[in-house]
Amino acid sequence: MHVLQKHDQIVSGIDWSAKSNQIVTVSHDRNSYVWNHEGAEWVPMLVILRLNRAALCVQWSPNENKFAVGSGAKTVCICYYEQENNWWVSKLIRKKHDSSVTSVAWHPNNIFLATTSTDGKCRVFSTFIKGVDKRESKAGTSDSKFGEQIIQLDLSFSWAFGVKWSPSGNTLAYVGHNSMIYFVDDVGPSPLAQNVAFRNLPLRDVIFVSEKMVVGVGFDCNPMIFAADETGIWSFIRFLGERKISSSPSKHGSQFSEAFGKLYGQSKYGLSNDTVEPSRADGVIHENCIKYLSTTLLPSIYCYY
């Protein structure tokens, strides 16, 4: 087992590239390191992100020649490797976000990047870099220049988190802090958006298991499955964990039921003071909020906050 120690503050984002076997980490210390496995050791290489606020999230691009970093400086850094100087260069997408960038996601074409922010919006940008990316003849990417905004989605009245593209890149999903999940098809000039509200606590991250199925994780500590039917309408299906009726609810659950019990117990009409049973699943494995979801390792790894 290896301990990768270099950052001074909380490591807020991590991603492992499967093909090139590199790990990229970003931290609240405004730095990023790319770790290479040399022999028995993991060797870090500092990346000058040029941020003056914490880095919050990171993701390798599909071709693993770039990675994107979202930050509290309302900027996104797109980093690519320059062979001649043996370092990673950071190009900034600035003045496009009104608040912290909470999550980034790459489109399969390695050029489009979706971002979510605490300003409630989800945006898609082009990250085309001359010398790193090749111009495709497809209409979608041929005219885009670096940092150009393709689309802005203003569906949430609350902070937005956890954006992901479907495997084909046709559908975008992201979550809001208002217990909603947004699905957008045909991302482009005329997108089709669906707002799905659900009963539970907000999600923080999502992942596409297939073109028509999404798993979301968040404050309920119990992954939720959403799926699209034949007509393309998305809805909540069930929780991932089994619903076991256990006599001792998780620590989190009992705190809620006690609070509700006290609240309703004070009504003049003499409701009983028994605790109100929480209606959430009791097959809870996680004690704390699940913040990130990744399929780097099969089947998936959950990162705890």
Partner 1 sequence: MAGVQGFVEADNAEAIIARIEHKSRKIESLLKQHKPVEALKTALEGSPPATRDERCKSANWIVVHRALMAIKDVEGMFSSLDPEYYDILMKYLYRGLSTGDRPTCDQCLRIHEKLTERAGLGCILRCLADTVNTV
| 120 near partner 1, judged by CB under 8 A | yes
Residues 4-33 that bind partner 1 (CB under 8 A): none
Q: Between 98 and 186, whose beta carbon lies closer to partner 1?
A: 98
Q: Between 30 and 177, whose beta carbon lies closer to partner 1?
A: 177
d(CA 17, CA 68): 13
Q: Between 33 and 159, whose beta carbon lies closer to partner 1?
A: 159
Residues 196-235 that bind partner 1 (CB under 8 A): 197-202
CA 248, 251, 255: angle at the middle one, nearest 5? 105
Q: How far is the CB of 123 from partner 1 (least distance, A)?
A: 12
Q: Between 154 and 287, whose beta carbon lies closer to partner 1?
A: 154
Q: Between 13 and 120, whose beta carbon lies closer to partner 1?
A: 120
Residue 74 in tokens: 């309302």
CA 42 to chain centre: 26
Q: How far is the CB of 8 from partner 1 (least distance, A)?
A: 28
| 156 near partner 1, judged by CB under 8 A | yes
- The helix or strand, by DSSP H or E, that contains position 37, with its residue range, turns out to be strand 32-38
Local structure of 101: helix, strand or coil: strand
Residues 33-72 that bind partner 1 (CB under 8 A): none
What sign for the dihedral angle of Cα 226, 232, 160, 50? positive
Write b or e for each residue in 168-204: b if 16 or more Cβ atoms lie within 10 A of its Cβ, otherwise e: ebebbbbbbbebbbbbbbebeeeeeebebebebbbbb
Q: Between 99 and 294, whose beta carbon lies closer to partner 1?
A: 99
| 99 near partner 1, judged by CB under 8 A | yes
From 20, 149, 168, 279, residue interacting with partner 1 (rule: CB under 8 A): 279
d(CA 142, CA 128): 10
Chain residues binding partner 1 by CB under 8 A are: 98-99, 118-121, 154, 156-159, 176-180, 197-202, 256, 260, 263-264, 266-269, 271, 276, 279
